[in-house]
Amino acid sequence: MAEEVFSWLKSLPSAPEYYPTIVEFRDPISYIFKIEQEASRYGICKILPPVPNSPKETIIANLNRCLSSQTPDSSPTFTTRKQQIGFSPRKNQRPAQRSVWESGVTYTLSQFKQKAKQFKQKRLNSNKELTPLEIETMYWKAQAGRPFSVEYANDMPGSAFDEAGAGQKLDYMTVEVTQWNMRRAARANGSLLKFLKEEIPGVTSPMVYLGMLYSWFAWHVEDHDLHSLNYMHMGAAKTWYGIPMEAALAFEDVIRTHVYGGQISPTEAIATLARKTTILSPEVLIKAGVPCYRLLQNPRDFVVTFPRAYHSGFSHGYNCADAVNMATPGWLRVAREAAIRRACIDSPPLLCDSQLLYDLALSLSSSGPNRSTYGPQSSRLTERLNNDIDAFVKRTFMLDVMHNNKLLDALGNGSPITLLSKHMSYDQPYKKAGPASIFSCVACGSPCYSCIVIVQPTESAAHYLMLNEVVNVKDPGTSLSGMV
Ligand SMILES: O=C(O)CCC(=O)C(=O)O
């Protein structure tokens, strides 16, 4: 019998879908930045590439190579985690919290596929193919019913893409040979993560996900509120729910009040969500007035999540996907606050947004008109878009410098210490900056524009400074190495 679809599911609004042309598809960051203003209003969106996926054999060969590289005996195997579905009120568990634990079971790809197939048949108990909405209804019924568990091989460092797409001898272009290959996307031209010195698995390099029916991912935002890019290689669909950044506070408030009866603070709500065990039906959110959008990701679909957009979802059967973070310049709007929120919940920072911004700004200044920061200058359209991005980055950089300048000035208020002039204007210092006037920050080693005054204290001046003695920058004990 067909499953009666919940009415709230029928009326859940959809997140947008985008269809880039071949030209637009050349440059992931430019493209995502271009759609960002519109798409981020939904928190998540889907991008359908204009080129095909790799053949299934290539995906499986890549995956097996990747799995073999991770095991001590080089076998192409992996272990799963068990995830709780449903809940037992008797166990004193909060209705929105689900447990996750190591399954201790090791699989090859074909063993896991077989297991997932059997589980789906048994669970759905239906001779006919169910629609995605019917499966979604059954998922939410299961999450409200008696507890059982599913398995998910999630957050495994690696990818079902080959680095160079070298294994392919095809006479047509696939996603793998483009800049959207997940092994390249985080550090694609124009992504701020390109300037991260170290590799952070899942952030600058992808993680691979092997799921089965009902494997879930809890409501969360990305580390440092970065963007995420997710690509489905093969298998059954994945349902995603997304909440726009503008509603993030309202969402956290629903968690605090509806789930915890107002007994936790806003910071504790953020810390709870960061544990990635919160499952809450969009029905609750919609009723509380929090906007929530849905999309269905099929093989060959990319999903982008935007900065500070809470998202969650589940799989409709055996599937394989890759995920990685990236950062268009749009992320800079939220990066500072994200770092503060992270500090508030005692999570150590993974990156420094100022360093990334300075490095990107520097790369724009030093590469001249033919720079390749945003990929090939393939068309007038791309060129215009890149100019817009450049202007945005330069402006953000200058605002950042001026903000820091004001802070330093305020800190020095009342004492003779004035590190920077508070009268610096937006475009005046930028015009003066050039490759010849680049300095390294004495504190963190980041290269800086000449619009930043760098005070390199001599040993005796440093001694005075550390003793809290008042030192004027014009004091002969300091040497001034950069000027506005
Ligand atoms: O697919 C998953 O399990 C998690 C995906 C995700 O959160 C992301 O790609 O941002």
Question: What is the Å distance from ligand 1's center to 341 Cα?
Answer: 21
Q: Is the CB of 209 under 6 A from ligand 1?
A: yes
Structure tokens at 42: 């939904």
The fraction of the chain above a pLDDT of 90, given in percent, is 64
pLDDT of 165 strictly over 70? no
Confidence of residue 416 (pLDDT cuts 50, 70, 90): very low
Structure tokens at 188: 């694609």
Confidence of residue 460 (pLDDT cuts 50, 70, 90): low
Q: Is the CB of 323 under 6 A from ligand 1?
A: yes
Confidence of residue 378 (pLDDT cuts 50, 70, 90): low
Residue 110's Cβ-count burial label (10 Å; 0-12, 13-18, 19+) is: exposed
Task: Quote the pLDDT of residue 167.
Answer: 52
Chain center to CA of 39: 15
Question: What is the Å distance from ligand 1's center to 76 Cα?
Answer: 23
Q: What is the DSSP letter of 2?
A: -
Provide CB contacts within 8 A for 166, sequence distance 6+: none
> Do you know the residue count of the chain?
484
Domain limits, the chain: 7-344, 353-480
The fraction of the chain above a pLDDT of 70, given in percent, is 79
Arithmetic mean of pLDDT, 261-290: 96
Question: What is the Å distance from ligand 1's center to 480 Cα?
Answer: 48
Confidence of residue 94 (pLDDT cuts 50, 70, 90): confident
Atom of ligand 1 nearest to the CA of 230: 9
pLDDT of 25 strictly over 80? yes
Output the pTM of the full model: 0.84
Question: What is the Å distance from ligand 1's center to 1 Cα?
Answer: 32
Structure tokens at 107: 């699989």
pLDDT of 476 strictly over 70? no
Written as one letter, the residue type at 223 is D
CA distance 216 to 189: 32
Task: Quote the pLDDT of residue 257.
Answer: 94
Confidence of residue 70 (pLDDT cuts 50, 70, 90): very high
Looking at 181-190, 222-231, 277-286, 416-425, which range is the least confident one?
Answer: 416-425
pLDDT of 370 strictly over 50? no
Question: What is the Å distance from ligand 1's center to 72 Cα?
Answer: 27
pLDDT of 374 strictly over 80? no
Arithmetic mean of pLDDT, 215-242: 98
Looking at 284-298, 369-383, 400-414, 450-464, which range is the least confident one?
Answer: 450-464
Confidence of residue 407 (pLDDT cuts 50, 70, 90): low
Chain segment 110-153, per-residue pLDDT in tens? 999 999 999 999 999 877 899 999 999 999 999 999 999 999 99
Looking at 97-106, 252-261, 460-469, which range is the least confident one?
Answer: 460-469
Q: Is the CB of 319 under 6 A from ligand 1?
A: no
Task: Quote the pLDDT of residue 470.
Answer: 39
Task: Quote the pLDDT of residue 180.
Answer: 97
Q: Is the CB of 302 under 6 A from ligand 1?
A: no
Arithmetic mean of pLDDT, 279-290: 97
Task: Quote the pLDDT of residue 300.
Answer: 98
Question: What is the Å distance from ligand 1's center to 31 Cα?
Answer: 21
Residue 77's Cβ-count burial label (10 Å; 0-12, 13-18, 19+) is: middle
Tell which one of 305, 312, 322, 325 to mutate to probe ligand 1, the residue whose CB is within 8 A of the most ligand atoms. Answer: 305
Atom of ligand 1 nearest to the CA of 238: 1
Question: What is the Å distance from ligand 1's center to 231 Cα?
Answer: 9
Q: Is the CB of 191 under 6 A from ligand 1?
A: no
Q: Whose CA is nearest to atom 3 of ligand 1?
A: 217
Q: Is the CB of 230 under 6 A from ligand 1?
A: yes
Q: Is the CB of 228 under 6 A from ligand 1?
A: yes
Give the strand pairing for 44-47 and 17-18.
parallel
> Across all residues in the chain, what is the average pLDDT?
84
Chain segment 314-352, per-residue pLDDT in tens? 999 999 999 999 999 999 999 989 998 998 898 888 998
Structure tokens at 448: 């800086």
- HSE (side-chain half, CA atoms, 13 Å) at 370: 0
What CATH number does the domain located at 7-344 have?
A: 2.60.120.650
Task: Quote the pLDDT of residue 18.
Answer: 98
CA distance 294 to 239: 7
Angle between helices 380-411 and 353-367 (to 10 degrees): 130
